[in-house]
Amino acid sequence: MDDAPVLICYDGSPGARRAIDAAAGLLGARRAVVLDVAPLLTGPESVATISGLPVGSFGELNRADALTAAQEGAEHARSVGFDAVARSNTGAPTWDTVIDVADEIDAAVIVTGSRGLSTAHEVLEGSFSHDIARHAGRPVLIVPPPHHEH
């Protein structure tokens, strides 16, 4: 298992950077894949498709944007000791795409930040980190926000 890479979920948020830092401290220097998953279509893009614009071009643009974010995350991961590479993908729900990538690379652990939602907000908005933990079938490191951000 020590040879298996760490899969780090990264969206450019402070919580994602915090998760990288925590994982480096807990897991030490090892291989990592930093992943950002983009939607095939954003809300405004969905509206644009009604006017006849091709869907494929949006997915490609969203994936390219996700790769830019993942590259930023991989750079940060390397700065704290990981041997990190960037990867992007598109899909929905996002947690399911993350699990597919984790299965593909046989990740030792999936690392993700958490927004620290209250139970009521979590029911209304859903919880990416809890969906990962519930469905991954492998260890998941969920890094919460600092106490002052709850």
What backbone torsions phi and psi does residue 115 show, to the nearest 5 degrees? Answer: -80, -10
136 close to 104: Cβ distance less than 8 angstroms: no
Q: How confident is the model at residue 95 (pLDDT cuts 50, 70, 90)?
A: very high
pLDDT of 54-74, one tens digit each?
555 655 677 788 899 999 999
Question: d(Cα 14, Cα 131) in Å, to the nearest integer?
Answer: 20
User: Is the per-residue pLDDT at 146 higher than 80?
Assistant: yes
Domain ranges within the chain, ordered by starting residue: 6-149
pLDDT of 5-38, one tens digit each?
999 999 999 999 999 999 999 999 999 999 999 8
Report pTM: 0.81
| H helices present in the chain, as ranges | 14-27, 43-50, 55-79, 94-105, 119-125, 128-135
41 close to 101: Cβ distance less than 8 angstroms: no
CA distances from 117 to 9, 128, 130 (A): 18, 11, 11
- The fold adopted by the segment(s) 6-149 is Rossmann fold (3.40.50)
Question: d(Cα 17, Cα 73) in Å, to the nearest integer?
Answer: 7
User: Is the per-residue pLDDT at 47 higher than 50?
Assistant: no
pLDDT for res 52: 57
pLDDT of 123-139, one tens digit each?
444 478 889 999 999 99
